Amino acid sequence: MSTFSIVGLGKLGASMAAAIASRGFKVVGVDVNAHAVDAVNAGRAPAQETDLGDLIAANRERLRATTSHREAILESDVTFVIVPTPTDESGGFSLQYAAWAFGEIGDALARKHNYHLVVLTSTVLPGSTRYGLLPILEQRSGKQCGVDFGVCYSPEFIALGSVIRDFLHPDFTLVGEFDDRSGRTLADAYAAILPKPPPCQRMSLENAELTKIAVNTFVTTKVAYANMLADLCERIPGGDVDVVSEALGLDARIGRRYLTGALGYGGPCFPRDNVALGYLARVLGTRAELAETTDRMNRSLAGTVLERLNLSIVHGTTVAVLGLAYKPFSHVIEESQGIALAKALSRHGARVVAHDPLASSLASHELKDHGLVLDSLHDCLRQASVVVITTPAGRSRWSTAGGCSRRS
């Protein structure tokens, strides 16, 4: 039975480590952050994610963590690398953290005698694994890829708040392989880990890297299309975007998922992938106009909502914004539509009060002078003349809420 190591114990990495351990495998987590390592070894979650703490605590005998890459590599057969690849000034993805991790892994491989598979999971641009990272492994290890070790690119298609469930029950697994042995090893690993192995799509490293970005940008295109329909429906007497979307979703060529008029998408993945696809197209001498338009439409939604509310808001009107995280059941505020709307309202002259049961602390720091984040929902409602709900009504995090919103 294989032993796995996970480099990077953030939300995805820690969740993958716990999920794999829950399937009966030994897992060694690696992180430069000693606090994350100590948390895992104490049976606690190093990051906030649904059910993560319980799963780590329940599998302590199979899951441990260390700050030593060498230790983790020498004790495992397959390594998943899940480190940040932040957007750089050009719109692409920086390989700074991945390159450092691959250097450490290469040093460890130099001291290993049996075959080892290294799997990059972080989002990168096509060509990054083969030309940016694989050479680091060969140089630092003194060994040859395809002979002494294998390399794959295999991203996960997960959503924050449901990472563990999404990892264990994916629609498909994506395996970008350096060679047949690398791909076969990873495909076999997924077949053993996942409760009901889904279809496995094996392809080149570059095709897998592009597929990851393509999936996310296609999903956001559906979101933007639904928001376009929502805008049209609001201008048509009796128009109802939910009715229209429900009918559209019955067409097998379209499907219902992500086809809902709302405040748009946000978070750490979707917005930057459209930007990255546009950057990639320009580097290749072409244009990704659909991705660029999707990004532009999504960033304009806060202004569109403000336009709808304009008649209700005079200078000094108190407006409550309920929902500051980028999605329900999350504390993450990155690219949050609620934050963007609160800032737009403040710039318009409104007095903004806001509430979110999970994201209040981070949101307060982000909003600064643009709004007052209150701990109490009822205090928000009591002070406000206009209430904007920026979380889906069907999945509201509050037992009560009042007011009006363009889209709830």
- Contact partners, residue 154, CB within 8 Å, separation at least 6: 80, 119, 120, 121, 173, 174, 175, 176, 186, 208
Q: Does residue 340 contact residue 321 with C-beta atoms inside 8 Å?
A: no
Distance of CA 3 to the CA centre of its chain: 26
What radius of gyration do the chain's Cα atoms show?
23
Q: Which of 145, 200, 269, 380 is catalytic?
A: 269
Closest CA to 206 of 97, 131, 292, 150: 131
Residue 177 burial (C-beta neighbours within 10 Å; 0-12, 13-18, 19+): buried
Active site residue 233: no
Closest CA to 212 of 28, 85, 26: 85
Residues in the chain: 408
**Distance between CA atoms of residues 129 and 95, nearest Å:** 10
The identity of residue 81, as a single letter, is V
- What amino acid positions are annotated as catalytic residues? 269
